[in-house]
Structure 1
């Protein structure tokens, strides 16, 4: 039996990539920045609507609508945090310094 070494094999596709082609595109980080901003904006609007239904005008809505608005409030707060993380990833990729 002949033992083979791991470096005995070469693939043609190994030479097609250079280190420069593996660098992330700034376009993707800009998309992450805009996506994070959009997620946070939608979540803030959801929180405001939930507060309106659950607290400001609770007597005008059914119990089920109030329960749903309380649940939505928690989910929108989570969405703000997720959007913020996506935004931070985009800013970091674009070279922004954050404190």
Structure 2
């Protein structure tokens, strides 16, 4: 009834390495890879927009818009880093040996 040793426990998901589960994992890693790419693209576009509002065309925008663009610049830089980490996780999960 009860396991007497830690190795006596077995779970179905530990031993189930069927072909369906492997293709599901590959699909999930592809989704993470594509999501990371999309996050990086959106963040770069947001960063470019915030640079134009905060620096290039600053005299055409109010002070509040400029402050918001500077804050957005920091958030977009963070989003680029998060997207890059997602991309690295996706590539690693798909078996890439060198990023």
Question: Does the TM-score normalized on the shorter chain lie above 0.5?
Answer: yes
Alpha-carbon distance in 2 for matches of 1:7, 1:94: 36
Number of aligned residue pairs: 90
Alpha-carbon distance in 2 for matches of 1:52, 1:67: 13
Aligned structure 1 segments of 4 or more residues deviating by more than 3 angstroms: 14-17, 21-24
Secondary structure of the residue that 1:25 maps to in structure 2? helix
Which runs of 5 or more structure 2 residues have no equivalent in the other structure?
Answer: 5-9
| Higher helix proportion (structure 1 or 2) | 2
What is the alpha-carbon root mean square deviation over aligned residues? Answer: 2.2
- The alpha-carbon deviation at position 19 of structure 1 amounts to 3.5
Task: Using structure 1 for the length normalisation, give the TM-score.
Answer: 0.81
Matches within 5 A, 1:80-91: 80-91=80-91
1:20 aligns with 2:17: yes
Equivalence for 1:29:
29
> Would the alpha carbon gap of residues 36 and 57 (structure 1) be closer, same or farther in structure 2, given more than 3 Å must change?
same
1:24-55 alpha-carbon deviations (Å, 9 max, x no partner): 61000000000000000000000000000000
Alpha-carbon distance in 1 for matches of 2:12, 2:58: 63
Task: Using structure 2 for the length normalisation, give the TM-score.
Answer: 0.81
Secondary structure of the residue that 1:98 maps to in structure 2? coil
1:73 aligns with 2:70: no
Computing the radius of gyration over CA atoms, which structure comes out larger, 1 or 2? 1
- The alpha-carbon deviation at position 6 of structure 1 amounts to 3.8
- The alpha-carbon deviation at position 7 of structure 1 amounts to 1.1
